[in-house]
Amino acid sequence: MVTLPDVQAALGRIRDRIYLSPCARTETLSRLSGTSAFLKLENLQMTGSYKERGALNTLLLVGEAERARGLIAASAGNHAQGVAYHAGRLGVKATIVMPETTPIMKVANTRAHGARIVLHGANYDEAYAEARRLEQAEGLTFVHPFDDPRIIAGQGTVGLEILDQVPEVDAILVPIGGGGLASGVAVAAKALRPEVRIVGVETEVLPSMLAALEAGRPVTLEPASTIADGIAVKRAGDLTFEHVRRLVDEIVTVSEEEIASAILYLLEKEKTVAEGAGAVAVAALMNRRAAGLEGRRAVAIVSGGNIDVNLVARIIERGLVKDGRLVRVSVALTDKPGQLAKVSAIIAHHRANVIEVHHTRAFATRFGDTTLQLTLETRGLEHVQELLQALRERGYQVQQLGI
């Protein structure tokens, strides 16, 4: 088991090479969650994730002979960049095995840190197997993404910083994938403040640690697609399972929609970018998943911010639709000049903004009619109903459509 001295020693090693991320109180999230809420912004690290803490601690503990031969890791995301970045800064050769399906930008970012990139397999498991083969074939040292005491100790430095930044913290909400971050934070927090509540948060799509706790041992789940790909781990680690079983007070899950809403909330209200895995703790707070936190000081760890911009665009659009700020309506019109102008005038009078217009005769219910489909920007759900009512009062047949 990793101990408090291990985590404290790790902080001493890495302190001057990582960013002391802020842990600031947020009024809006406090109001939404019924807590005194704080955000620990690990998405602001150089590589956009807390993962570089464990990677750096491990690299600094590796012997000279192992450094000379080189290191190897398997990852499609944050662990890859953390290992590559700090290996490059330390002058250590690093090989990163990534699935062939890894987005081009993630491959480019990892290669930019000086690592040798090997693309292999259709998924992480196949990339992992190839990394272990290369480890043996080339005499490399494998750096595990979570199930390693050096990694756990490095990730635990997040917990030490939280206790220093918010000394009277009552609860810490931690994303869980393989369990390295939750294990390390729990080791630090429970040793110094046993009364601090540690809440792990998983996606309900792939709750591998929760399944392990229920089974009494790590079990392998079926792979599943999730917006929180950074914690999409089919099997919890053996070492991390033991730490979580002993030290984490509760594990809760959040849905895909809740994660997307948390990403949008962080972007719009907190002015910070989080990936899906990085937003799950915030999602748990927003939806009051954890028990007994009302009125308590709760820190949510925003663990990473490496998210594809196209996914951000889709999340924003879905969020606007959910809030009623983006709506699509169909209006039946008599096919004669001036009808579009009249509808546009009503929309303008009610201060809605037309984003897109599609005019068609093919789907009209009667000959001589036409259908107008409009995508509108509005202030919210009440504004949408106000606008629909105004159109109906003018005699138009109007229907709200999905987007």
- pLDDT tens-digit profile of 7-50? 999 999 999 999 999 999 999 999 999 999 999 999 999 999 99
The token duo for 189 is 């927090």
Task: Please identify, among 258, 288, 318, the residue that sits at the C-terminal boundary of a domain.
Answer: 318
Return the percentage of the chain with pLDDT > 70, whole number. 98
Same domain? For 312 and 240 the reply is yes
Cα–chain center distance at 81: 16
Q: What is the DSSP letter of 168?
A: T
Residues contacting residue 107 through CB under 8 Å, at least 6 positions apart: 98, 117, 119
Same domain? For 186 and 208 the reply is yes
Lateral strand order in the sheet of 326-334: 353-360, 369-377, 326-334, 397-401
Average pLDDT over residues 103-109: 83
Q: CATH no. for residue 366?
A: 3.30.70.260
Separation CA 171–CA 316 (nearest Å): 30
Same domain? For 282 and 185 the reply is yes
Q: Pick the closest to residue 42 from 301, 399, 351, 365 (CA basis).
A: 301
pLDDT at residue 364 above 60?
no
Same domain? For 173 and 119 the reply is no
Print the domain residue range for 60: 51-142
pTM assigned to the model: 0.90
pLDDT of residue 322: 86
H helix or E strand, kind and range, residue 253: strand 250-254
pLDDT of residue 151: 98
Average pLDDT over residues 210-231: 94
Backbone angle region of 340, left / alpha / beta, with phi > 0 → left and psi within -120 to 50 → alpha: alpha
Q: Pick the closest to residue 388 from 340, 350, 357, 342 (CA basis).
A: 350
Task: Please identify, among 283, 318, 353, the residue that sits at the C-terminal boundary of a domain.
Answer: 318
| Contact predicate 118/95, CB 8 Å | yes
Same domain? For 89 and 232 the reply is no
pLDDT of residue 368: 58
Separation CA 371–CA 374 (nearest Å): 10
Q: What confidence tens digit (pLDDT) does each residue in 229-241 have?
A: 899 999 999 999 9
Task: Please identify, among 272, 292, 318, the residue that sits at the C-terminal boundary of a domain.
Answer: 318
Separation CA 89–CA 99 (nearest Å): 25
| Contact predicate 78/96, CB 8 Å | no
Same domain? For 374 and 280 the reply is no
The token duo for 312 is 């951000």
pLDDT of residue 8: 99
Instruction: Report how far apart, in Å, the C-alpha atoms of 250 and of each of 157, 290, 314, 347 are.
Output: 21, 8, 32, 50
Q: How many domains does the chain have?
A: 3
**Catalytic residue numbers, as ranges:** 51, 303
pLDDT of residue 361: 63
Q: Which residues pair with 359 in a beta bridge?
A: 372
Q: CATH no. for residue 71?
A: 3.40.50.1100
Q: Which residues pair with 73 in a beta bridge?
A: 96
Separation CA 263–CA 278 (nearest Å): 8
Q: Pick the closest to residue 33 from 225, 258, 187, 203 (CA basis).
A: 258
Same domain? For 347 and 215 the reply is no
Same domain? For 135 and 159 the reply is no
Give helix 149-165 / helix 4-14 axis angle, nearest 10°. Answer: 80
Same domain? For 357 and 331 the reply is yes
Same domain? For 11 and 88 the reply is no
Residue 26: CA atoms inside 13 Å, Cβ hemisphere, count?
27
The token duo for 129 is 């197997």
Same domain? For 183 and 295 the reply is yes
Backbone angle region of 11, left / alpha / beta, with phi > 0 → left and psi within -120 to 50 → alpha: alpha
Average pLDDT over residues 336-359: 89
Same domain? For 281 and 262 the reply is yes
Separation CA 31–CA 49 (nearest Å): 27
Helices (H), 199-275: 208-215, 238-247, 256-268
